[in-house]
Amino acid sequence: MRRLNWLPVAAVAAIAIVALATPLLPLPDPLAMDIAGRLAPPSRAHWLGQDQYGRDVLSRLLWGSRVSLGVAVLACGAAVALGTALGLAGGFLGRLAELLALRSMDIVLCFPPLLLALLVVTLLGPGAATLVPLLALLYLPGFVRVVYAGVLSVRSQDYAEAMRALGATRLRIMTRTILPNIGGPILVQFSLTMASAIVLESGLSFLGLGVVPPAPSWGLMIGAARSTMAQAPLLLLWPCLALSLTILAMNALCDALRDAVDPQRAPRPAGLRGTLAPHAPSLAPDGDALLALRGLTVEIDTPAGAIRPVRDVSLRLSPGETLALVGESGSGKSLTGLAAMGLLPPAARVVAGDIRVDGRDLRRLDETALRRLRGTAMAMVFQDPLSSLNPVHRIGAQIGEAVRAHHRLPARAVRERAVGLLRRVGIPDPERRARSFAHELSGGMRQRAMIAMAIANDPRLLIADEPTTALDTTVQAQILELISGLKRQGGMAILFITHSLPVVAEIADTLAVMYAGEIVEQGAAAALFARPLHPYTAALLASVPGEDGALPRSIPGTVPAPHDLPPGCRFAPRCAHRRDACEAAHPPLAPVGDDRLTRCIRWRDFAGTRPSAETAA
Ligand code: SF4
């Protein structure tokens, strides 16, 4: 709130204080008539004059503010509370809650507001007590729709997914991650609604559908002043002025609040503009494997029919081991990682195979058991740290959330743990950085913060999905060194997903190369780097500059879509080594000795010499 513009706050506070304190002020009775003083101009006794019945205009204006503001505040408060609850439930829970929330609002919107007002006033009679539920009902659909749209937008963000990956409950994600991010739009909607409610209350009172005379209200004052406009124009000015100034102050307040709660609107501190300070196999049976995938197949329903972007994938990862899952975009490696976390998107499902994490069959666990495993047994680091970190929470608070997802600790202990984790991942001045927002950190520091969140509960398995792709080369090396260090310190197993083989040359123990949804080559990293037995692996290795100064060669063509796979070898259309036999039948992933697997029928031809990285044009 340090960035809050206090001017509109003071203006709204002054209006509210005056309205609340009106009964205490030495004002004439707002209902007392004085026919002799009818339409009298401002005087010492009546600062704003007297109306057509000789009543004191200032007194009626202030007492009227209580009615107009009270109706607007109560109606908007009810609408925002109910609308936020319905929008959150509809957007986050989906299905029946979504249907009920949206369709019921559609029904309300079917009625023209004035017609609805007439109906309600006819049923309940005019008066402030009728106006409150009426206005709340009229404004409810706006709040439901704003909140619902906000939830849909935020829940698909990486930082919401990251909280799921850390094992946070649905309620906690809803209240701590989603709600703060849609606070801005709700405040803007609230400001518009408050202004509109004050005007509508005045309008309905003006039409005789609102506050009942002789009770004072701004709408009634405007209506009454209209008939005496020629003789006493000031009587129209005072309530109109009060109405306009109140609406203006309300809008300015909500704009200021929106800016204050959105940290990205704050100027970036000069001291934080710099970059990060210099820093820096196995195919055996499952046994003690931390992660074991067997025949994993993922299916997604599309309008064109079901596709299988991941097919028959088997991987095994032991404690202290780093397995690099490598392949181009669209090869299915990220879906494999998400399946291993039990975080597949709603449209995707596992249709075959086993997923075991620390010996537990993920496919047999319910969401509660999965949530307990996420963050403790396994954790995930996503590609883009900026979109994976919540923009409205400080870094330390987000790491604290990850800790709280699994431990009940005092706030002080959580804060200390967050700072300790930032220190552990090599962030300088961790106490200060814990108070920073994501946009105030460099890319490397954000990724370090993401890693700190992931390791907050000492998971034994870390799945890193392209964690260095968004970073420059120097920072990439620092993050790789950090991940290697974590493995050395804690014996953590790491599944490192990347599209670039050289990135993992230093840290991977085992490699699994994926192409078009299936593993095409697998084995010890050193052996694969020294002698790839699949032309796709060779092409990936040649797609970056060689240590001997060889120029990088791109792989022509693209990974085939899952619904349009070529017959036989999936890589055949891009392979310079293909023969007729390659396209005759789909090659199996065959063992070729020394814990090595390949899906190329010509592997023996490459056993003595590396396959040419040439690819079919
Ligand atoms: S099976 Fe044939 S087409 Fe496929 S990678 Fe091997 S040589 Fe190329």
Taking residue 58's Cβ as centre, other Cβ atoms within 10 Å add up to 18
Distance separating alpha carbons of residues 370 and 501, to the nearest angstrom = 31
Judge whether 447 and 385 are in contact, CB under 8 Å. Answer: yes
Closest Cα partner for 425 from 397, 448, 441, 455?
A: 448
Report pLDDT digits (tens) over 219-245: 888 888 888 888 888 898 998 999 899
Atom 6 of ligand 1: nearest residue by CA position: 600
Atom 5 of ligand 1: nearest residue by CA position: 600
Distance separating alpha carbons of residues 55 and 51, to the nearest angstrom = 5
pLDDT at 562: 86
Does domain 291-377+459-607 correspond to CATH entry 3.40.640.10? no
**CA–centroid distance, residue 520 to ligand 1 (Å):** 10
**CA–centroid distance, residue 532 to ligand 1 (Å):** 13
Q: What average pLDDT does this structure show over 301-325?
A: 89
Q: What average pLDDT does this structure show over 423-434?
A: 91
Q: Predicted confidence band at 510 (pLDDT cuts at 50, 70, 90)?
A: very high
Q: What average pLDDT does this structure show over 326-339?
A: 91
Taking residue 435's Cβ as centre, other Cβ atoms within 10 Å add up to 12
Which range, of 193-197, 459-463, 544-548, averages the lowest pLDDT?
544-548
Q: Predicted confidence band at 344 (pLDDT cuts at 50, 70, 90)?
A: confident
Judge whether 347 and 301 are in contact, CB under 8 Å. Answer: yes
pTM assigned to the model? 0.67
146 pLDDT more than 50: yes
Q: Which fold is adopted by the domain 6-17+65-262?
A: MetI-like fold (1.10.3720)
Report pLDDT digits (tens) over 432-487: 999 999 888 888 899 899 999 999 988 999 999 988 876 777 788 888 888 888 88
The domain limits of the chain are 6-17+65-262, 291-377+459-607
**CA–centroid distance, residue 523 to ligand 1 (Å):** 18
**CA–centroid distance, residue 505 to ligand 1 (Å):** 24
pLDDT at 171: 82
The residue among 305 and 42 whose pLDDT is bigger is 42
Residue of 514, 515, 520, 602 best suited for mutating to test ligand 1, as the one with most atoms within 8 Å of CB: 602
**CA–centroid distance, residue 544 to ligand 1 (Å):** 21
**CA–centroid distance, residue 283 to ligand 1 (Å):** 23
Q: Predicted confidence band at 614 (pLDDT cuts at 50, 70, 90)?
A: low
Atom of ligand 1 nearest to the CA of 570: 4
Task: Answer yes or no: same fold for 6-17+65-262 and 291-377+459-607.
Answer: no
**CA–centroid distance, residue 550 to ligand 1 (Å):** 24
**Ligand 1 pocket list (CB less than 6 A):** 534-535, 569, 571-572, 575, 577-578, 582, 587, 600-602
Atom of ligand 1 nearest to the CA of 603: 6
pLDDT at 269: 39
Query: Burial level of 527, CB count in 10 A (0-12/13-18/19+)?
Result: middle
**CA–centroid distance, residue 522 to ligand 1 (Å):** 15
Report pLDDT digits (tens) over 581-604: 999 899 999 998 778 999 999 988
Judge whether 272 and 440 are in contact, CB under 8 Å. Answer: yes
Atom 1 of ligand 1: nearest residue by CA position: 600
Atom of ligand 1 nearest to the CA of 576: 8
**CA–centroid distance, residue 571 to ligand 1 (Å):** 6
Residue of 518, 559, 575 best suited for mutating to test ligand 1, as the one with most atoms within 8 Å of CB: 575
206 pLDDT more than 60: yes
386 pLDDT more than 80: no
Amino acid at 570: R
pLDDT at 568: 92
Atom of ligand 1 nearest to the CA of 569: 4
Report pLDDT digits (tens) over 355-371: 999 888 988 888 888 88
Q: Predicted confidence band at 263 (pLDDT cuts at 50, 70, 90)?
A: low
What value does the CA radius of gyration of the chain take, rounded to a whole number of Å? 33
Report pLDDT digits (tens) over 37-88: 888 989 988 999 999 899 999 999 999 999 888 888 899 999 999 999 998 8
Which range, of 185-194, 448-457, 529-538, 542-551, averages the lowest pLDDT?
542-551
pLDDT at 267: 46
Distance separating alpha carbons of residues 50 and 398, to the nearest angstrom = 59
Q: In what order do the strands lie in the sheet with 378-381?
A: 378-381, 461-465, 493-498, 322-326, 510-515, 518-524, 597-598, 590-591
The secondary structure element, H or E, covering residue 338 is helix 333-341
Residue of 578, 589, 610 best suited for mutating to test ligand 1, as the one with most atoms within 8 Å of CB: 578
Closest Cα partner for 426 from 404, 455, 459?
A: 455
Atom of ligand 1 nearest to the CA of 572: 3
413 pLDDT more than 90: yes
Q: Predicted confidence band at 613 (pLDDT cuts at 50, 70, 90)?
A: low
Beta bridge partners of 357: 291, 360
